[in-house]
């Protein structure tokens, strides 16, 4: 095989850096900006980060600031990215806003959070509730939605979902309920009888019978999920769990249609309709969170931006409330990417996808009034927040190295960092 050498001596590595117009920090909170997340370049170790601000500290891999009362106010910040010859190759500016509670909040502010698994019953809700209650001395936030079960916070987070699911006539099978076509049923099941059904991701999930329509043992059965995630197959067998409860021990089904639909879609108008959502569910928020992107990362994020624009436009039209738009975080490092997904992801490309989505969202929405960015991509430590599993360096070695245990979902420390920036950004802009 011929070995071809490529002359790269005249090629200069591209270096991109980004900061939004403001970074908010509530008194008592620590917010950090990570060098490898603020900038994109092929080999970030070849560059040096010069943070200039009257508050905070410039560390080896980050800028960090723990806000105090004496810092309250706006502080200009400049980041210069330098090459090994100390030549500035990128420069970005922002304002660090140190904030504290202002006006009282007479009644709790109602939020609806729209998103994927990162908004699906994750600990940042509770941490944000705790932070705000400690500040105001009473509960001042309420999270609402059609999902959340027994949790004190409800939401509209759906694991595995992408932005397209919220702007189209879509169903949600991964954690949804189903309409099953059946035949050869001898004894119809008692309502609420539980059955186990095999789902994708290799496991069984419990469902309960909600209703049925059977004639001579054939027809349909509606089942509601009791827990777990995964889509059920197009055909299969449901196996009874409740002994002594009327109903066949096993029932075969020949088709499965998800009945859990996009709650924001109005079939009568064929469009996203938050006013219709309010009428159907009795939920009208004071503020909205949009936290999407992790399941649809692409070097070209235009489709994601367009879908989020549809949501933003509909929120403004129907609810007229402030919107908190999240820059979704980076996945774990290459070891974490490989550990969790094999050879699907390459770190340099993944980082560019997140960077491109973040900057595209900022370009699209930075001029929108009452829309505030929550820069989780910049402030959630991707290097250390995904858990660690000690793993042998090779099959025969007793030497181990820590490998991230998850690719997308951080450990508790990561969710607490999310809560810090959610809380700080909200505290800078809430209205009592």
Kindly report the CATH number assigned to the domain that includes residue 63.
Answer: 2.60.40.10
Non-local CB neighbours of 329 within 8 Å, separated by 6+ positions: 118, 294, 354, 376, 377, 380, 382, 410, 414, 418
Kind plus residue range of the DSSP H or E element containing 418 = helix 412-429
Q: At what angle do helices 347-365 and 334-341 cross, to 10 degrees?
A: 100
Percent of the chain with pLDDT over 70: 96
Boundary of a domain, candidates 258, 283, 298 = 258
Residue 1: pLDDT above 50? no
Question: Where a domain ends, among 226, 258, 290?
Answer: 258
Q: Which of 341, 340, 331 is nearest to 293 (CA)?
A: 331
- Rounded to 5 degrees, φ, ψ at 279 are -65, -40
Q: Which of 129, 174, 127, 167 is nearest to 147 (CA)?
A: 174
Same-domain status, 413 and 314: yes
Mean pLDDT of 195-211: 92
Would residue 224 count as lying in a domain? yes
CA distances to 6, 11, 44, 235, 389 from 14, in Å: 18, 9, 11, 51, 34
Name every residue whose Cβ is closer than 8 Å to that of residue 387 and which is 6 or more positions away in sequence: 404, 405, 406, 410, 411
Q: Of 48, 69, 99, which residue constitutes the final position of a domain?
A: 99
Give, as one character, the DSSP assignment of residue 249: S
Which tens digit of pLDDT belongs to each residue from 335-390?
888 888 888 889 999 999 999 999 999 999 999 989 999 999 999 999 999 998 99
Is 5 among the domain residues?
no
Same domain (yes/no): 232, 362? no
Instruction: Quote the pTM value.
Output: 0.92
Q: How far apart are the first and last CA of the chain?
A: 71
How many other C-beta atoms can be found within 10 angstroms of the C-beta atom of residue 357? 26
Structural domain count of the chain = 3
What does the pLDDT average to over 412-427? Answer: 98
254 and 272 inside one domain: no
**pLDDT on residue 281:** 96
* 302 and 339 inside one domain: yes
Burial of 159-191, coded b for 16+ CB within 10 Å and e otherwise, reads: bbbbbbbbbeebbbbbbbbbbbebeebeebbee
Q: Considering only 71-75, 226-230, 262-266, which range has the smallest mean pLDDT?
A: 226-230
Q: What is the pLDDT of residues 210-227, one digit of tens each?
A: 999 999 999 999 999 998
Provide the pLDDT for residue 228: 85
User: Which pLDDT band holds residue 10 (cuts at 50, 70, 90)?
Assistant: low
Q: For 46-78, how does the pLDDT look when each residue is reduced to its tens digit (9 = 90+)? A: 999 999 999 999 999 999 999 999 999 999 999
Question: What is residue 42's predicted lDDT score, i.e. its pLDDT?
Answer: 85
What's the pLDDT tens digit per position in 287-339? 999 999 999 999 999 999 999 999 999 999 999 999 999 999 999 998 888 88
| The pair of three-digit structure tokens given for residue 351, joined into one six-digit string | 């980082």
| Residue 362 domain flag | yes
Does residue 119 sit in the same domain as residue 245? no
Q: Give residue 384's domain range.
A: 109-170+264-429
Quote the pLDDT of residue 150: 66
Q: Taking 80 as the threshold, does the pLDDT of residue 151 lie above it?
A: no
- Provide DSSP, 270-298: TEE-HHHHHHHH----SEEEEE--TTS--
- Establish how many alpha carbons lie within 13 A of residue 394's alpha carbon, considering only the half-sphere containing its beta carbon: 2
Same domain, 268 and 254: no
- At 347 the pLDDT is 92
Q: Which uninterrupted H or E stretch holds 75? A: strand 73-82
Q: Confirm whether 21 is domain-assigned.
A: yes
Tell me whether residue 194 is in a domain.
yes
pLDDT band of residue 45 (cuts 50, 70, 90) is: confident
Give yes or no: residues 327 and 370 share one domain. Answer: yes
Residue with tokens 């509770």: 126
The pLDDT assigned to 173 comes to 92
């Amino acid at each position: 095989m011929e070995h071809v050498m490529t002359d790269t001596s005249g090629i200069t590595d591209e270096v991109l850096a980004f900061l939004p117009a403001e970074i908010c920090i509530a008194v008592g909170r620590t917010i950090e900006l990570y060098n490898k997340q603020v900038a994109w370049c092929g080999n970030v170790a070849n560059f040096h980060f010069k943070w200039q601000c009257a508050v905070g500290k410039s560390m080896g891999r980050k800028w960090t600031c723990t806000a105090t009362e004496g810092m309250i106010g706006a502080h200009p910040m400049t980041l210069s990215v330098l090459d090994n010859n100390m030549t500035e190759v990128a420069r970005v500016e922002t304002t660090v806003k140190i904030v504290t509670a202002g006006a009282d909040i007479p009644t709790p502010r109602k939020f609806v959070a729209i998103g994927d698994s990162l908004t699906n019953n994750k600990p940042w809700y509770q941490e944000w509730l705790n932070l705000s209650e400690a500040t105001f001395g009473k509960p001042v936030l309420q999270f609402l939605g059609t999902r959340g079960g027994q949790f004190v916070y409800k939401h509209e987070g759906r694991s595995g979902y992408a932005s397209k699911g919220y702007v189209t006539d879509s169903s949600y099978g991964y954690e949804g309920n189903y309409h099953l076509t059946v035949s050869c049923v001898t004894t119809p099941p008692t309502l609420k009888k539980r059955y186990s059904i095999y789902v994708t991701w290799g496991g069984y999930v419990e469902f309960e019978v909600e209703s049925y329509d059977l004639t001579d043992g054939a027809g349909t059965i509606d089942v509601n999920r009791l827990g777990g995630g995964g889509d059920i197959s197009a055909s299969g067998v449901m196996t009874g769990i409740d002994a002594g409860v009327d109903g066949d021990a096993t029932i075969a089904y020949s088709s499965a249609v998800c009945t859990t639909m996009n709650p924001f879609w109005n079939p009568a108008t064929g469009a996203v309709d938050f006013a219709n959502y309010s009428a159907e569910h009795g939920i009208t928020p004071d503020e909205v969170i949009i936290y999407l992107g992790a399941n649809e990362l692409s070097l070209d994020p235009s489709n994601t931006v367009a879908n989020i624009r549809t949501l933003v436009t509909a929120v403004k039209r129907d609810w007229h409330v402030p919107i908190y738009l999240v820059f979704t975080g980076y996945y774990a490092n290459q070891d974490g990417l490989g550990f969790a997904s094999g050879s699907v992801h390459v770190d340099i490309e993944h980082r560019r996808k997140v960077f491109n989505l973040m900057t595209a969202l900022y370009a699209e929405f930075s001029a929108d009034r009452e829309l505030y960015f929550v820069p989780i991509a910049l402030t959630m430590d991707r290097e250390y927040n995904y858990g660690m599993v000690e793993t042998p360096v090779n099959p025969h070695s007793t030497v181990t190295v820590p490998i991230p245990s998850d690719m997308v979902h951080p450990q508790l420390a990561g969710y607490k960092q999310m809560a810090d920036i959610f809380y700080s950004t909200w505290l800078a802009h809430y209205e009592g």
